[in-house]
Amino acid sequence: MNSKLRRIGILTGGGDCPGLNAVIRSIAKPAMTEYGASVIGILDGFEGFVEGRMRELTPKDIAGIINVGGTILGTSNKGNPFMFPVETPKGIDILDYSQHAIQNYQDWNLDALIAIGGDGTMHIVDKFTELGLNMVGVPKTIDNDLASTDVTFGYYSAVSVATDAIDRLQTTASSHHRVMVVEVMGRYAGWIALGAGIAGSADIILIPEIPFRWDKVYEHVLLRSKSGNRFSIVCVAEGAKADSGDQVVKEMDKKRTDPVRLGGIGELVGKKIEEETGLETRTVVLGHILRGGSPTPYDRILATKYGWMALKLAAEGKFGYMVSLRGDEVSSVPVKEAILNLRTVPLDSQMIQSARAVGASFGD
């Protein structure tokens, strides 16, 4: 037992995903029972950290939440303390409010703060560590795009939801002899589209890492149609783009940690396929459905291991680190290492090779 670990903070930053509550539980429960520590839940991510909103968690708060989606603490992707959006009479100003968060950390007498989030959260963890706060990171994102870990919790839950959707679309596409275009999340990485595309037997998989050619997409669906396969499934990542164009941006929101909000490539792909091939086409955007619902058993187990390891790092005074999965074992890496690059799909990935082997086209 580490007698210095008496008050621990937890926050969930960025977009929600299945498994967040499982992490909260696996930090808070042993912190209370094994270390006798108080656990402070910071509300609504870094927004709450800046604005001083928190509550002390009790055993009742964390009972029975391992299978519950979302986060009991709330979250936000618009509260970067170093670039905090502030409403003024002239509009929105982006200001450095990090000192507000540091003051709250001190006022709450925290010995450590465990931040659960994706790439944006880990960049913030790194900055606060440099300013002297005792921070530990837990990698969370359905996009699976954090470096220095084999997988982030939430990814396999999102792939499961997307695969189920593609399975269902197979039957309606077959019945109506249509091309069905399914757009999934993932930002600048194609992991969700690739995983769901393979598991759902998509005929075309479009990912950001492989710019596609329109003529190859048309050619593939027409070939299937002429060979007697009277329907096709296209799984497209929101960050996918043609080799002759740019990623499709739905909107810009400077309040967000990443102001670029991708979306719309699915509609574009569906429209152009129908125009150029004459095949009836429909588009489905899964969007936030991928973030909702209960985590898969795999993600519940991984999230539990991550939370336990994060608490262990805090107890050992190993700050400025992020928990990481390598093979079957959870260990840790410096946060600085984890934020060096986005983890995108390697072009020599066995997932890509196996998808091609069973007939999937990447439009290249």
Q: 215: domain CATH number?
A: 3.40.50.460
Q: How far is CA 230 from CA 160, 179, 223, 266, in A?
A: 26, 8, 10, 20
Say if 1 falls within a structural domain. Answer: no
Residue 339, pLDDT score: 94
Whether 108 and 73 map to the same domain: the answer is yes
Assess whether 81 and 140 both reside in one domain: yes
For residue 238, tell me if it sits in a domain.
yes
Residues 6+ apart with CB under 8 A from 299: 18, 19, 22, 153, 154, 155, 156, 157
| CATH number assigned to the domain comprising residue 309 | 3.40.50.450
Local confidence band at 312 (pLDDT 50, 70, 90 cut-offs): very high
Q: Are residues 167 and 229 in the same domain?
A: yes
Q: Are residues 241 and 115 in the same domain?
A: no
The average confidence (pLDDT) of the chain is 94
User: Which residues constitute the domain of residue 207?
Assistant: 156-291+346-357
* Residue 364 lies inside a defined structural domain of this protein: no
pLDDT at 226: 87
Q: For 164-210, what is each residue's pLDDT tens digit?
A: 999 999 999 989 999 999 999 999 999 999 999 999 999 999 999 99
Say yes or no: 231 and 298 in one domain: no
DSSP string covering 255-272: TSSS-EEE--HHHHHHHH
Residue 33 has pLDDT above 80, yes or no: yes
Kindly provide the residue ranges of all beta strands, DSSP E only, lying in 44-159, ordered along the sequence: 54-56, 84-88, 91-95, 112-117, 135-139
Query: Could you tell me which of 272, 284, 280, 283 has the C-alpha nearest to residue 175?
Result: 280
Pair 297, 287 in one domain = no
Tokens 């399975």, located at residue: 167
Pairing of strands 260-262, 249-252: antiparallel
The residues, any chain, with a CB within 8 Å of residue 296's CB and separated by 6 or more, are 18, 156, 157, 160
Residue 193 inside a domain? The answer is yes
Domain shared by 181 and 270, yes or no: yes
Residue 23 DSSP code: H
Residue 363 lies in a domain: no
Evaluate if residue 274 carries a pLDDT over 90: yes
Active-site position among 44, 111, 119, 143? 143
- Residue 73: alpha-carbon gap to chain centroid: 17
Supply the pLDDT for residue 256. 65
| 323 and 353 assigned to the same domain | no
With cut-offs at 50, 70 and 90, classify the pLDDT of residue 273: very high
pLDDT of 3 over the 70 cut: no
Do 99 and 39 belong together in one domain?
yes
Q: Largest Cα–Cα distance of the chain, in whole Å?
A: 72
pLDDT at 229: 86
Q: What is the percent of the chain where pLDDT is above 70?
A: 97
pLDDT value of position 245: 80
Domain count, the chain: 2
Pairwise pLDDT comparison (292 vs 250), residue with the higher score = 292
Catalytic status, residue 215: no
Is residue 35 within 8 Å of residue 21, measured between CB atoms? no
2 within a domain of the structure (yes/no): no
User: What are the distances in angstroms from CA 124 to CA 45, 67, 111, 136, 321?
Assistant: 11, 28, 18, 11, 12
Residue 109 covered by a domain: yes
Q: Do 202 and 236 belong together in one domain?
A: yes
Residue 30: inside a domain: yes
Instruction: State how far the Cα of 154 lies from the Cα of 133, in Å rounded to an integer.
Output: 27
Task: Please give the model's pTM, rounded to 2 decimal places.
Answer: 0.93
Which residue, 117, 145, 16, is CA-closest to 68? Answer: 16
Q: 120 and 206 share a domain?
A: no
1 pLDDT exceeds 80? no
Instruction: Answer whether 148's CB lies under 8 Å from 336's CB.
Output: no
Each residue of 80-137: pLDDT tens digit?
A: 999 998 888 888 899 999 999 999 999 999 999 999 999 999 999 999 999 999 999 9
Question: What pLDDT sits at residue 257?
Answer: 66
Q: Do 275 and 240 reside in the same domain of the chain?
A: yes
